[in-house]
């Protein structure tokens, strides 16, 4: 949640901060604000609503020039999205400002104590407590903002990223992190803090990872990182491998359209470099021995939202290839049900950002039970990969739209690579069998491209169905998670009632939802690979059609047996059963995006949502 930018340098701090916030608005768009350290003291402005509201305010009433500053775009937790609850929050002296991502769980107790000691609060947020704590700590530390931050962080319970400035310390910005993302950008004569490297990619590709419970102080010429106890902390510097253009729309109306179009390349990039000179599969950071992997007797996939649906698809493939039982768990539920986990359990944590708090806490619970953990992630250096025993990075590039598209397809591909790697290590598959499956995977980018070239009728279908109030999605086998993902996309983007069901469950209740004209999307399995399942799904189509449903079938090219059961057909290239989700999902993404567009909704920033969920 929440986007954070901090800057010290020679440029206009406001220009740098606003540029970064534009790139981070996907993380939260309930309100936005800035704080600048000017020659006349601290200057702030903040406004409820999207970033444009703040920009318009700044145009009407410009702030003084400054080369030190910070900004914030908010996803509301404590306190509604109003001007007074927007960040930054200022202390009683008017000299110190703080911005925050996360939740301070003990803020009520802290606030009570501060109010008792004479501090006046002007907002409903947990964050303002930190501003007043820093006020007192700054005075006690003799004007050392970094020391004040260290002292305050020790008092806080919860997950947080904090960034602060003080008008009496005009040449520095101080940040801290615990279970919430913060990354440093190293420039020449300037340095940056941000929730994500995309905020400063236009200025530098050199980034510095921050570890847990660390405080960072940036000045024009230096970066200092310590633990909360003040000890020097080790850091890891790396180079960002994509450029600023990757985070721009590139001529597309929406980021989501651009990211849908980038899926062939994202899948191809995720497959690159996975086979060593010996012809065997390799993963990015494998810190588990072959012997440890041979001891695995159960796999648990933990994930949230779209990543959970990717895990559902992965279950079919991994069990089929390895013969290891696989469970797929909602990360938000995992640790609360006393799961059975031991050293022979492999937990696969899937997260686009690598900072998803529900998944991170589930991962930590698994590690406490001595399970081995493998992460599938799109963000290098994020927390989940750092706390895992092994990592497979997807190479989707930056995904800005809140509703996930290319991250979803690359998560499926990455999970398939994990399954094949396990099959290789455990001897479940011969080398030529693995090679044949990899060939099928390498064929998918071109086939996804072919699907994208035929989407105009799907866009028109959305216009036809825009007045419908409910849409159902059906599938069997790997088509069932595809149905779940199709329904999720429509909920996220078009704010419609949409449900995904296993087609065989229709007659056990859900068919009661079908009435005359109800749109029903059905993913039809290939008649070649699983003909029995194919015929059963076609029977399910006939069942809903008999109740008046408007049937929209996703079927492979050449399958003419479904023609009479369809009101609308979306054709996809023929492929093996386990590869079909990589194709069948794409029309559902396009449909949801177009449905939101014709309804006049914001495709990239749907209401109440944020890209990276860093609170539980």
Just list the catalytic residues. Answer: 2, 611
**Pair type for strands 169-178 and 568-572:** unpaired
Q: Dihedral sign for Cα 305, 306, 310, 312, please.
A: positive
Q: Are 558 and 575 in contact, with CB atoms under 8 Å apart?
A: no
- Cα–Cα dist 559/571, whole Å: 9
Q: In the sheet that 519-523 helps form, which strands lie side by side, from edge to edge?
A: 497-502, 470-475, 519-523, 550-556, 568-572
- Cα–Cα dist 384/352, whole Å: 10
**Pair type for strands 345-351 and 298-303:** parallel
Identify the CA nearest to 524 among candidates 499, 491, 557, 498.
557
Phi (first) and psi of residue 169, to 5 degrees: -125, 70
Helices (H), 141-239: 145-153
Identify the CA nearest to 571 among candidates 440, 458, 442.
458
The number of angstroms, rounded, from the C-alpha of 576 to the middle of its chain's C-alpha atoms is 29
CA distances to 107, 208, 213, 226 from 233, in Å: 28, 12, 10, 5
Region of residue 509 (phi > 0: left; psi between -120 and 50: alpha; otherwise: beta):
left
The number of angstroms, rounded, from the C-alpha of 9 to the middle of its chain's C-alpha atoms is 30
- Cα–Cα dist 342/369, whole Å: 6
Cis, peptide link before residue 88, omega less than 30° from 0: yes
Q: Are 164 and 149 in contact, with CB atoms under 8 Å apart?
A: yes
3-state secondary structure of 204: coil
The number of angstroms, rounded, from the C-alpha of 393 to the middle of its chain's C-alpha atoms is 14
Residue whose pair of structure tokens reads 């495709």 in the numeric block: 603
HEC profile of 449-469? HHHHCCCHHHHHHHHHCCCCC
- Cα–Cα dist 591/570, whole Å: 11
Residue whose pair of structure tokens reads 């608005």 in the numeric block: 25
Both tokens of residue 530?
Answer: 């699983």
- Cα–Cα dist 498/496, whole Å: 6
């Amino acid at each position: 949640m929440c986007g954070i930018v901090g800057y010290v340098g020679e440029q206009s701090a406001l220009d740098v901060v606003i540029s970064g916030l534009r790139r981070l608005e996907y993380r939260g768009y309930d309100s936005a604000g800035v704080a600048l350290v000017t020659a006349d003291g601290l200057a702030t402005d903040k406004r409820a609503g999207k970033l444009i509201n703040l920009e318009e305010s700044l145009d009407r009433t410009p702030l003084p020039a400054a080369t030190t500053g910070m900004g914030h775009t908010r996803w509301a937790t404590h306190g509604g999205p109003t001007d007074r609850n927007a960040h930054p929050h200022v202390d009683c002296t008017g000299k110190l400002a703080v911005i925050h991502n996360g939740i301070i769980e003990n803020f009520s107790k802290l606030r009570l104590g501060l109010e008792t000691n004479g501090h006046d609060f002007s907002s409903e947020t947990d964050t303002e407590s930190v501003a007043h704590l820093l006020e007192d700590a700054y005075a006690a530390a003799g004007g050392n903002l970094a020391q004040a931050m260290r002292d305050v962080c020790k008092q806080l319970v919860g997950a947080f990223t904090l960034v602060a400035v003080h008008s009496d310390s005009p040449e520095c910005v101080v940040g801290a992190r615990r279970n919430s993302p913060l990354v440093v950008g190293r420039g020449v004569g300037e340095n940056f803090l941000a929730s994500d490297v995309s905020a400063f990619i236009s200025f530098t590709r050199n980034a510095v990872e921050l570890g847990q419970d660390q405080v960072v102080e940036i000045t024009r010429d230096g970066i200092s990182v310590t633990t909360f106890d003040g000890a020097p902390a080790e850091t890891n510097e790396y180079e960002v491998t994509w450029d600023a253009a990757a985070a721009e729309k590139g001529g597309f109306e929406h980021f989501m359209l651009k990211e849908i179009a980038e899926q062939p390349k994202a899948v191809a990039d995720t497959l690159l470099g996975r086979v060593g000179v010996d012809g065997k599969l390799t993963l990015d950071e494998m810190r588990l021995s072959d012997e440890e992997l041979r001891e695995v007797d159960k796999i648990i996939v933990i994930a949230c939202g779209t990543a959970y649906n990717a895990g559902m698809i992965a279950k079919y493939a991994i069990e089929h290839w390895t013969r290891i039982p696989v469970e797929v768990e909602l990360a938000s539920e995992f640790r609360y049900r006393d799961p059975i986990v031991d050293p022979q359990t492999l937990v696969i944590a899937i997260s686009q950002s690598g900072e998803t708090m529900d998944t991170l806490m589930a991962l930590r619970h698994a590690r406490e039970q001595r399970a081995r953990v493998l992460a599938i992630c799109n963000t290098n250096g994020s927390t989940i990969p750092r706390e895992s025993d092994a990592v497979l990075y997807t190479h989707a590039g930056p995904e800005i739209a809140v509703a996930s598209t290319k991250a979803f397809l690359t998560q499926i591909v990455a999970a398939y690579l994990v399954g094949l790697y396990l099959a290789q290590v455990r001897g479940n598959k011969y080398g030529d069998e693995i090679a044949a499956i990899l060939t099928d995977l390498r064929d998918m980018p071109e086939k996804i491209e072919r699907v994208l070239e035929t989407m105009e009728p799907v866009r028109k279908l959305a216009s036809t169905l825009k007045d419908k109030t409910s849409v159902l999605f059906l599938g069997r086998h790997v088509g069932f998670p595809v149905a779940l993902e199709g329904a999720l996309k429509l909920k996220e983007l078009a704010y419609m009632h949409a449900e995904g069901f296993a087609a065989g469950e229709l007659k056990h209740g859900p068919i009661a939802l079908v009435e005359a004209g109800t749109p029903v999307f059905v993913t039809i399995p290939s008649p070649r690979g699983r003909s029995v399942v194919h015929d059963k799904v076609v029977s399910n189509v006939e069942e809903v059609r008999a109740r008046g449903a408007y049937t929209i079938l996703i079927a492979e090219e050449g399958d003419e047996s479904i023609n009479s059961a369809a009101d609308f057909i979306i054709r996809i290239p023929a492929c093996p059963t386990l590869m079909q989700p990589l194709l069948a999902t794409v029309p559902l993404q396009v449909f949801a995006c177009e449905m939101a567009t014709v309804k006049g909704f914001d495709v990239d920033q749907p209401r109440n949502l944020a890209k990276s969920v860093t609170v539980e």
